[in-house]
Amino acid sequence: MGKNKDDNSADNLSNSMKKRIDRANQQKKAKRTEITGRIISILILALIAAGVIALIAAAVVKASNKVTPNNNYSEGLDENGYIKGVTASSIITMPEYKGVSISKSDIEPTDTDIANEIERQRKQHLDTETDKKIENGDIINFDYVGTIDGVEFEGGNTNGSGSDLTIGSGTFIDDFEEQLIGAGVGDNVTVNVTFPDDYNKEDLQGKDAVFECTINGIYPEFTDEFVAEYLSDNASTVEEYKEFYRKQEYDKNLDNWIDNYLDENTTVSKYPYRYLKQLKALQKYTSLESFQYMNQIYEQMYGSGYSDFYEYNGTTEEEYDKELINICQDSAKKMLTYQAIMEKEGIRCTADDYKAYLVETEGSDESYEQQKETFGDPYLIQSVYKSRAYKIIKDNAVYTD
């Protein structure tokens, strides 16, 4: 049965409406897709921008942390050797430096210290031509080759490198040292011994051994003649040298005591950025200079050296620069401490003070002009403040027994 005219009109209207609705839906979908695409594009661009910014930021941080060597020693210091623009006493907390109690037992050298110094001096002057015969108490240098049943054993040969021995010290096994008494320089002595049953090497315990020994030299006695010949810049007799050494060690130990006291009881609230940066630059410069010098020696001795400074140190550049922070903070802390004491005492030094310091320590100021050319006056003047600070502490300390 066919449709009437009204039915056809309704169908046509319905189809037309459907098409319009479909087009509208398609347009909405296209618009949503376009908007979504724009949002995604914006997000992608934002992520890219963030990544670029992060990379730039990382590069900036890396660049800011990179240390460029600099040999301008006086940079960052004012004309009086103070850290430029910094009031040290405002950024550090330090202990009382006047009236400090110091125990003499902590700084005075002992009799053992003096005996060790005398032996050290003797061992710098081996006598290879003396007619003296070895006696108990002598210090000698000799070589030896040890065998058991004619076979060398491990550790029984000096291989010509020489070994020092104090006769009568009991350093070697029983009856070894006594058999060298009476021998002279250049003599060959056969020493027969038996290793003790409790010797620290099991394979040698209780074994009979033979040592073929060659006497290389005998260290001279520490006499007035020895002092006059080798130590005349400091003394002319044994007692004078002992007193010289005692005072030298006392002063050194006192300085070390003060250095530890200040370091352990001083804190820095904020390190001056520019000064710390300059210290790192100086440290890197001096380390590079040292490396270049050592590398030349390696090349001359072994035919090759290190490819670069960082291979020599076993670090990357970034690792090395990072390590400089702690090193230079320690240096900065010391200089801030000395400056803080100077500030509290109202002391500012000049080049004339440094020249006077040279006269006191070196006997003249002849080296001043050359030092000034290399380091600049501010750096030289700053170096005076340590001795000034220490002197203030020493002069006002309470010394106890």
Give tens-digit pLDDT for 247-263.
999 999 999 999 999 99
CATH of domain 88-94+266-400: 1.10.3120
**What rounded mean pLDDT belongs to the chain?**
88
Handedness of CA 95, 101, 104, 106 (dihedral sign): negative
Please report how many Cα atoms fall inside a 13 Å half-sphere around the Cα of residue 164, on the Cβ side: 13
Give me 119's structure tokens.
Answer: 């032996």
**More reliable by pLDDT, 44 or 314:** 314
* Whole-number pLDDT of residue 36: 59
Tokens 């490396």 -> residue: 291
Please report how many Cα atoms fall inside a 13 Å half-sphere around the Cα of residue 353, on the Cβ side: 19
Mean pLDDT score, 238-244? 98
Is the pTM higher than 0.85? The answer reads: no
DSSP helix/strand/coil, 172: coil
Beta pairing class for 139-148 and 208-218:
antiparallel
Which value, in Å, is the radius of gyration of the alpha carbons in the chain?
40
User: Widest CA span of the chain, in angstroms?
Assistant: 151
Residue 131 pLDDT > 50: yes
For domain 126-219, the CATH architecture is Roll (3.10)
* Whole-number pLDDT of residue 66: 86
Mean pLDDT score, 60-82? 83
End-to-end alpha carbon distance in the chain: 135
- For 140-180, the pLDDT digits (tens) are 999 999 999 999 999 899 999 999 999 999 999 999 999 99
Tokens 């908007």 -> residue: 35
Question: Hey, how many other C-beta atoms are within 10 angstroms of the C-beta on 214?
Answer: 18
Domain layout of the chain by residue ranges: 19-65, 88-94+266-400, 126-219
The per-type count for the chain, helices as H runs and strands as E runs, is 10, 9
- Which of 37-41, 81-85, 329-333, 356-360 is predicted with the least confidence, judged by mean pLDDT? 37-41
- For 2-56, the pLDDT digits (tens) are 444 444 444 444 555 555 556 656 666 666 666 655 666 655 555 555 454 444 4
H or E element that contains 1: none
The C-alpha atoms of residue 77 and residue 336 are separated, in whole angstroms, by: 12
Q: Are the beta carbons of 112 and 240 closer than 8 angstroms? A: no
* Whole-number pLDDT of residue 387: 96
Question: Hey, how many other C-beta atoms are within 10 angstroms of the C-beta on 348?
Answer: 15
* Whole-number pLDDT of residue 29: 63
| Burial zone of 201 (CB within 10 Å; 0-12 exposed, 13-18 middle, 19+ buried) | exposed
Output DSSP code: residue 127: B
Mean pLDDT score, 365-394? 97
Give me 177's structure tokens.
Answer: 């040292």
**More reliable by pLDDT, 277 or 36:** 277
Question: Hey, how many other C-beta atoms are within 10 angstroms of the C-beta on 137?
Answer: 10
